[in-house]
Amino acid sequence: MRKTPTLLILLCGLFVSAVDADVIYLKSGRQIQCTSAWEEGKEIKYTIGTGRIGIPKSLVAKIVKGQSVEPPQTTALASMSKTDTVSDKQKEADAKINAELAAIYTSSGEALIQKKDFAGALEYFQKAYRSHTTPETTLHLAATYFFLKDDWNAELYFNELLTAEPNNTEALNYLGEIAWRGENLSDALNYWQKSVRIKPDPVIQEKLKRLEKENSASDSYENSTSRHFLIRYDGGAVDASLVHAISDFLEDIYHKLAIQFDNYPNDPFVIVLYPQQQFFRATELPFWAGGANDGKIKLPIKGITQLNEELKEVLTHEMAHSFVRLKTSNNCPVWLQEGLAQYTEGKRTGYDDQQTLVQLSSHDQLPPVQNLAGSFLSSDSRSAALLYMISLSFTQFLLEHFPGYQMNETLDEMAKSASYQGAFEHVYGEPFNQLEAEWKRALQQE
């Protein structure tokens, strides 16, 4: 746990006569005594000696101008060289001020991280890093770039942290994740293996287990790149013309989904095309799964030689998952993820599906939507079919009985770390269980 340094009571008397000074009162109860203080934009600026410093206005309770300050003891300084004393004391004071400012900025950044306001937090962590560069301020800055999907800057600062602390497992774990999502599997393997040797972590060990299977399956794959996609495929099993057709189709889908979800990701999506047996070995999914999306889209190519309608639907389905994942900062319930993915690929609940749901509801056998929290992939094919049906039906009701923009606003609310029930209530203006009750009544009427 980070220990916040005690706020320095500035030694203004070293540089100005002990007459009057300005005092900045922070909301935390602490004080900063300085030569002068003033408001400038979103900051409170103040001077100490020949230096000028700024802190966020939101941290300040009030400024008292011209408050009397006790002069410091100067007897001990009389026997010292005045020039050397001022210089040494100035350096010491500056270092303490910078450390305290870094602590204030870091605290503000951490508060915004809790709200998933990564862009706002980045500004504070940048100031903390510039004020006082330490492993802690470097880690905060690097991790925030990571969550903002700015992998170039994230990698830069994580490597800087490793230079100072070669055994920092947090930096190693993040660098492994960056390498993994960029499909640099051997680098990811090296980072995570080193990390678990230093500090065994069950989460990283599980990632290593999956990565080793993934790497063994696709180690010799070829790459095809486009504006928004990196496609990896087995050149001996997948025809290059099919890869090009998939790439063109995905670019079209990207633009349609970017408009639909009002989100325009810049980082390339990774698509891995496996021969069927390698797909199930690498993902360990049930036989009925048509694809996987763990941040990368993984698809089994079952001897397909051209882009058919079934493959288009699967690609659209998985791309919808990726857009929802990004828009909600991976904070979307499974039922809504699956409902939106099915609806986006073009599926709708038909008469037979509605009859099934009505019968289950009338016998009190229809599970509450909010209970559909776990992965559907752990279910058998029959149970999974029902879960997908419920997800599509309720999502379809929300999209077709309310203004379409409300769904996007709800997804945005989820990105702010809101519970999905709270996000729905905030946007739709009624409790989630009331929305679910309205859906069941609509099933009966239709």
For residue range 129-165, list pLDDT tens digits in order: 999 999 999 999 999 999 888 888 999 999 999 999 9
Residues 183 and 230 in one domain: no
Overall number of domains in the chain:
4
Where helices occur in 305-419 by DSSP H, the ranges are 309-327, 334-345, 351-362, 381-401, 405-414
Does residue 340 surpass a pLDDT of 60? yes
103 lies in some domain: no
pLDDT in tens, 234-270: 877 788 889 999 999 999 999 999 999 999 988 889 9
Q: 60-68 and 292-293 as β-strands: parallel, antiparallel, unpaired?
A: unpaired
- Alpha-carbon span 267 to 154, nearest angstrom: 14
Domain containing 197 — which CATH number? Answer: 1.25.40.10
Shared domain for 316 and 400, answered yes or no, is: no
The confidence score (pLDDT) of residue 315 equals 93
**Paired tokens of 179:** 């390498």
The more confident residue out of 9 and 218 is 218
What pLDDT score was predicted for residue 30? 67
Judge whether 16 lies within some domain: yes
pLDDT of amino acid 345: 94
Residues 29 and 57 in one domain: yes
Residue 167 resides in a domain: yes
Rounded average pLDDT over 7-13: 32
Q: Same domain, yes or no, for 250 and 297?
A: yes
- Judge if 182 and 234 occupy the same domain: no
- Where is the domain boundary, 47, 72, 97? 72
Q: Angle formed by the axes of helices 169-181 and 151-164, to 10°?
A: 150
Q: In the listed set 213, 233, 262, which residue is the last one of a domain according to the structure?
A: 213
> Of 195, 213, 231, which residue sits at a domain end?
213
Q: Please report, for the chain, how many H helices and E strands are present, in that order.
A: 17, 11
pTM: 0.68
Query: Contact 95/45 with Cβ under 8 angstroms?
Result: no
Mean pLDDT, residues 385-390 taken together = 89
* Residues of the chain above pLDDT 70, percent: 83
From CA 420, how far away is CA 31, in angstroms rounded? Answer: 41
Residue 23, domain member (yes or no): yes
Give the span between the Cα atoms of 301 and 306, in whole angstroms: 10
Q: Do residue 441 and residue 377 come from a single domain?
A: yes
At residue 154, the 3 state secondary structure works out as helix
Side-chain half-sphere exposure of 117, counting CA atoms within 13 A: 11
For residue 93, is it within any domain?
no
Residue 246 maps to which CATH number? 3.40.30.160
Amino acid 12: pLDDT: 32
Cα 336 from Cα 338, distance rounded (Å): 5
Same-domain check for residues 230 and 175: no
Cα–Cα distance measured from residue 328 to residue 74, given in angstroms and rounded to the nearest whole number: 59
Residue at 78 is within a domain: no
- Assess whether 305 and 355 both reside in one domain: no
E strands of 31-179, at which residues? Answer: 31-34, 36-40, 43-48, 51-56, 60-68
Question: Are 246 and 202 in a shared domain?
Answer: no
Residue 90 lies in a domain: no
> What is d(CA 148, CA 181) in angstroms, rounded to the nearest whole number?
14
CA dist 110 and 118 (Å) reads: 9
CATH number at residue 49: 2.30.30.100
**Residue 441 and residue 364 share a domain:** yes
Residue 63 domain-assigned (yes or no): yes
Q: Are residues 437 and 351 in the same domain?
A: yes
Domain range holding 199? 110-213
Q: How far is C-alpha 44 from the chain's CA centre?
A: 31
Same domain, 118 and 207: yes
